[in-house]
Structure 1
Amino acid sequence: MNDMTRKFPKITEEGLDDLRKRIGVKIERTVEPWCYEATRDNIRHYAHGIGDDNPLWCDPAYAKTTKYGDVVALPSFLFATSRIISGYVGGLPGVHAMWSGANWEWHKPILRNTEFRTEAYLKDLIEHETRFAGKAVQQIYHVDFYDAKTGDMLAAADSWCFRTDRDQARENGTKYTEAKAKGRRVYTQDELDSYNKYYAQETIRGAETRYWDDVTEGEELPTMVKGPMTATGFIAYAQGWGGLYIRANKLAWQLQQKHPSAGIKNRFGIPDCPERVHWEEEFALEVGAPGAYDYGPERASWLTHQVTNWMGDDGFLAQAKSQVRRHNPEGDIILIHASVIRKFEKDGRYLVEVQQRAEQQDGEMSAIGSAIVELPKR
């Protein structure tokens, strides 16, 4: 049997019934997180994994000059402290899971060397009809993040994956029909230069305080570029974030013994992780994707990266929401546009709401997001 005729497990009513029994039940034994602590290196590796070189996260000498007195973790670093928030789903073994969005609320800055404790539960299951794979199930988890030493709540978030039928997506999905027919784009140097200018212009607000008084509704944030997408870039993110199923040698074997569906044979007949859709073109096509593609939490982190660049060291990201709308395969370039849509006061805090839209090079929507930022008042 060649790869493109392989048949995968399907969504069944029995599987859904089993999952429904888990709704609201605290998950007692979660998968070990990639990071238990916000060490200097863990923070920097995550930041570099999304292309963020903000010295508040990455440069202790600079960070000593700020109100924090040391490096702090970027808000999206918390993806590395919970596999559940990052898309490690239970139930429906062998059914594909695509991370598709999150709603975050942060309560405190994440200081260097903070140790984490998390609590999680399955929040809801919602059935959908999709262009990508027909019937799909949205599987929503809730996770609370605590300082393990003090017990203080640091953040809370909902995130969700869509569980999809891999065979249905490959054989009958219509979402990427036109994209597959067009084939991959090959860029000229002039085209690349037209996007690279955004990297050259990228500004980190840093120590220059952005005051609430000076922000106006309708104000645009600087456009942020990400890409061109490469498997190298996806792996760079996995280095900082940890991935879900990436294991080597004995540890890979142990995972596959415990979860056989996590070892899908590759072209050499060797069991390998389903996560290889992010770097192996053939397997990505097999599950209906347009090619090897980026990680969902990675894209959510790009959205918050734009906001933290803009708000400066004295701003605080209080909330962020993201929805992933399509795959970003190798070769795609993403432009993130944003503007301030509201200025308001609440409980003595001075807040602004930012709306975001990420588009790929042909103008197709890649993701949408929003954020609420607390800023100092003069």
Structure 2
Amino acid sequence: MAEDNKISEEFEKATSYELKDEDIEKAKLLIGVDIACRDKEQIQTISEDNVRTYAQACGSDNPLFVDPDYAASTRWGSVFAPPMISGFVNAPMLGDKMDPALKEATKGIFRGIHAFISGGEWEFFKPLYPGDTVYSFAGESDIEVTPSEFAGTKVTRFNRSVKMNQRGEIVAIYTYRLILTERKKAREKGKNLSIEPANYSDEDIAKIDELYANDNPRGADKLFFEDLEVGSALPDSVRGPLTVTDVVNFHAGGYGWVPYGLRTGRLWHKNRKRIAPFYVKNEMGVPDVAQRLHWDSEWAKAIGNPRAYDYGVMREHYLYHYLLEWVGDNGWVSRFYDEIRKFNLMGDTQFITGEVTGKREEGGQCLVDVELKMINQRGEETVRCDATVVLPSKKNGVVVLPEPPRDLQRRAVEMISRHRELSAK
């Protein structure tokens, strides 16, 4: 009972922050302002080791990423990192600073407000090879205020991040949706608290095992554009059941969550001084990250969920690797759009289905549109994704990678040139 009281007390403190109209108006000032990203993530430069670790953290043993000898024999000539890894790989890039008046006007907005990513849109242009360093520039592209079924009102911030290598070549463009809600209102609504935990029989696990047993990378076996028709089904697959181990593995794979981060010892002390509202006492009176709702079910309950749950980006990466394994060594995923529709709670299993929704030849490329869904064991759709892949044709068997927009590529070269200029001073 004493522990419950401590959680309640800390909940009251942590949920005293409210969404303010003035913060929303200040956030609008940031729309269209691109700034060089100075974040120093756990991974900054690609290596064979961190590509393998990342792939395995996503549940993939695709030899393109984990077997250098195999990868050397493919069209890629080497192990490479799928460009979606750039979502949490970054080296600090120097650039012109934000206007001081704008920085002061937007300082501390949405402090203490619960934030989570609900999906986004990717465009992929180049792989990342061992030795490549990832830089980026980013900015707000839009902001929306809408009613929320979960928490009364929500603010959605759209952030576009342009990811490039050390040569200034754009490898990916990522526009994600950051959802902001009030923790207290989410708890008061209590909509999700009645969801019962999953419980699996040996027969249930056997069915999941059967799906995994048939879930293998296509490899060198080419999937041709001509092999598919609109309505063609993609192979059924599965991810889960979700455990805390999965979340730990994802962090070990490189997900650092800068600028907040997980810190130990003296670094924990320094981080608390830097961002005190991010730390909320646990039942033992120890200040711990609010982010722990992804592995601490008691804290997750305190803000309106029945149990801890995954990061939505975990399911993005799972689906992306699923597509890469389906297209094989000779295909490419060029666009990926997803909507995270429900929480993936501890113990939940995600069943993957998909179908071809369109085909076209465009700009010398053979493009296939697909729609994917993740359905949990309760029959709920938790993620909807539509993507475009580039496949070889039986006419020539060659896949040409897409090109980024010329104006944006020019901007990327300007940004990396400015970085070098400032670095030399």
TM-score normalised by length of structure 1: 0.93
Alignment match, 1:3? 7
Contact 1:230/1:331, CA 8 A, preserved across alignment: yes
* Residues 214-265 of structure 1, C-alpha deviations (whole Å, 9 max, x = no match): 1222111111201111111111111113231211122222222121112122
- Return the alpha-carbon distance in structure 1 between the equivalents of residues 88 and 49 of structure 2: 13
User: One-letter code of the match for 1:27?
Assistant: I
Alignment match, 1:34? 42
User: Secondary structure at the residue paired with 2:138?
Assistant: strand
- Return the alpha-carbon distance in structure 1 between the equivalents of residues 361 and 184 of structure 2: 50
Query: Does residue 347 of the first structure (1) align with residue 363 of the second (2)?
Result: yes
Q: What do you get for the CA RMSD once the two structures are aligned?
A: 1.8
Contact 1:75/1:317, CA 8 A, preserved across alignment: no
What is the 5 A alignment of 1:130-279? 130-148=148-166, 150-174=167-191, 176=192, 180-244=193-257, 245-279=261-295
Contact 2:186/2:303, CA 8 A, preserved across alignment: yes
Alignment match, 1:80? 88
- Return the alpha-carbon distance in structure 2 between the equivalents of residues 325 and 214 of structure 1: 32
* Residues 21-42 of structure 1, C-alpha deviations (whole Å, 9 max, x = no match): 2222223454322221121111
Deviation at 1:202, TM superposition (A): 0.5
* Residues 305-340 of structure 1, C-alpha deviations (whole Å, 9 max, x = no match): 221111001101100011101111111000011111
- Return the alpha-carbon distance in structure 2 between the equivalents of residues 83 and 238 of structure 1: 17
Alignment match, 1:15? 23
Q: Which has the larger radius of gyration?
A: 2
Alignment match, 2:78? 70
Alignment match, 2:67? 59
Deviation at 1:74, TM superposition (A): 2.3
Correspondence for 2:344 among 286, 307, 328? 328
Structure with higher strand content: 1
Deviation at 1:193, TM superposition (A): 0.9
User: Secondary structure at the residue paired with 1:350?
Assistant: strand
- Return the alpha-carbon distance in structure 2 between the equivalents of residues 356 and 315 of structure 1: 17
- Return the alpha-carbon distance in structure 1 between the equivalents of residues 256 and 342 of structure 2: 20
Alignment match, 2:118? 100
Contact 1:131/1:173, CA 8 A, preserved across alignment: no
Query: Does residue 297 of the first structure (1) align with residue 313 of the second (2)?
Result: yes
User: Secondary structure at the residue paired with 1:24?
Assistant: coil
Deviation at 1:82, TM superposition (A): 4.8
Correspondence for 1:113 among 128, 131, 134? 131
- Return the alpha-carbon distance in structure 2 between the equivalents of residues 29 and 210 of structure 1: 38
User: Secondary structure at the residue paired with 2:173?
Assistant: strand
Deviation at 1:190, TM superposition (A): 0.8
Contact 1:129/1:135, CA 8 A, preserved across alignment: yes
Contact 1:277/1:292, CA 8 A, preserved across alignment: yes
Percent identity (aligned): 30
- Return the alpha-carbon distance in structure 1 between the equivalents of residues 320 and 327 of structure 2: 10
User: One-letter code of the match for 1:359?
Assistant: I
- Return the alpha-carbon distance in structure 2 between the equivalents of residues 288 and 140 of structure 1: 24
Contact 1:79/1:297, CA 8 A, preserved across alignment: no
- Return the alpha-carbon distance in structure 1 between the equivalents of residues 67 and 203 of structure 2: 34
* Residues 51-104 of structure 1, C-alpha deviations (whole Å, 9 max, x = no match): 0110001110111111111101123212221599xxxx9731110001101100
- Return the alpha-carbon distance in structure 2 between the equivalents of residues 64 and 95 of structure 1: 47
Contact 2:86/2:134, CA 8 A, preserved across alignment: no
- Return the alpha-carbon distance in structure 2 between the equivalents of residues 313 and 288 of structure 1: 43
Return 5+ residue gaps in structure 1 as ranges: none
User: Secondary structure at the residue paired with 1:128?
Assistant: strand
CA 1:83 to 1:111, structure 2 compared with 1: closer, same or farther past 3 Å?
closer
Return 5+ residue gaps in structure 2 as ranges: 93-106, 395-425
User: Could you list the runs of 4 or more consecutive aligned residues of structure 1 that deviate by over 4 angstroms after TM superposition?
Assistant: none
Correspondence for 2:329 among 313, 318, 332? 313
TM-score normalised by length of structure 2: 0.83
Greater CA deviation, 2-11 or 346-355? 2-11
- Return the alpha-carbon distance in structure 1 between the equivalents of residues 84 and 138 of structure 2: 17
User: Secondary structure at the residue paired with 2:35?
Assistant: coil
Alignment match, 2:53? 45
Aligned length: 369
Contact 1:100/1:323, CA 8 A, preserved across alignment: yes
- Return the alpha-carbon distance in structure 1 between the equivalents of residues 312 and 91 of structure 2: 13
- Return the alpha-carbon distance in structure 2 between the equivalents of residues 186 and 312 of structure 1: 35
User: One-letter code of the match for 1:202?
Assistant: D
Deviation at 1:182, TM superposition (A): 4.9
Query: Does residue 123 of the first structure (1) align with residue 141 of the second (2)?
Result: yes
